[in-house]
A = this chain, B = another copy of it.
């Protein structure tokens, strides 16, 4: 397999550069990429050090290293470009066209994306994260009035990671409630759910996949028997249909895909971070 070195270099966290390079490089599955991240490269000395590292790799390998950058400081970016790499600067590529479109200059200030620029906005995001931890797995149902979403599903159907992702990435207050046999036994369900009907969204999952996931957690007992998984999934889906709760089959969906779908279907307001 071909191998290429990839540098992620930024005067801030480099998270934007890393996210974007990851998106691009996954389109080349036949190459193995070795990533070296250098965040907070914000002095001439640190840029010099980065240049040395790039040049060293360039001498040792076939093909120049790829260098994905997000520099807010133009001088540091210019300095870095003397290194022997193939450069992709996300800001440099798009900020110019945007400045021409808006007919104003960009602020060129660092840390605007992943720094703490707006304390109130940041505090609200952290509150959302704490809320989702607090209201994980059906606890504190009394706080559901603060939620904008209550995710339902049987145990291990993907509720917890989805709620945490929604909180961290979009600042959304999401609680989750595990459906158990008690919930299926009644035609109606828990009052906390009844009182928040418009916030309910269900996840379902292929029983065979559910069994695999449950077996990793607890190999024995009824919990991870296929028969039990089939029963719970069928009951959950019947409940969603009976109560008119929107739901999706999350079997082959990632957290990002589940989250995006839920936001879209429930028309949730979100603040991307």
Contact = CB atoms under 8 A, between A and B. Distances in A.
Interface of A: 2, 4, 12-16, 18-20, 22-31, 35, 37, 39-40, 63, 66, 70, 86, 88, 90-91, 93-95, 97-98, 101-102, 104, 106-109, 111-117, 122-123, 126-127, 129-130, 133, 136, 158, 160-161, 164-165, 168-169, 213, 216, 252-257, 259-261, 263-264, 272-273
Contact of A256 (B15, B129, B263, B264): B15
Given A168-B255, A256-B13, A260-B39, A23 B93 contact: no
7 contacts: A15-B256, A27-B109, A35-B272, A39-B260, A86-B101, A114-B256, A165-B168
A129 B161 contact: yes
Contacts of A98: 24-25, 27-28, 66
Given A31-B104, A93-B93, A115-B256, 6 more contacts: A13-B257, A13-B259, A18-B272, A28-B107, A123-B216, A164-B168
Q: Top 10 closest A-B pairs, CB basis?
A: A114-B256, A27-B106, A26-B112, A13-B260, A23-B113, A16-B23, A129-B161, A116-B254, A39-B260, A22-B272
A15 B129 CA distance: 19
B257 A115 contact: yes
A255 to B, nearest CB: 7
Given A126-B161, A254-B114, A24 B91 contact: yes
Q: Which of A15, A29, A169 is most buried by chain B, counting CB atoms within 10 A of its CB?
A: A15
Contacts of A29: 107, 112
Contacts of A39: 260-261, 264
A28 B255 contact: no
A19 B20 contact: yes
Contacts of A66: 98, 101
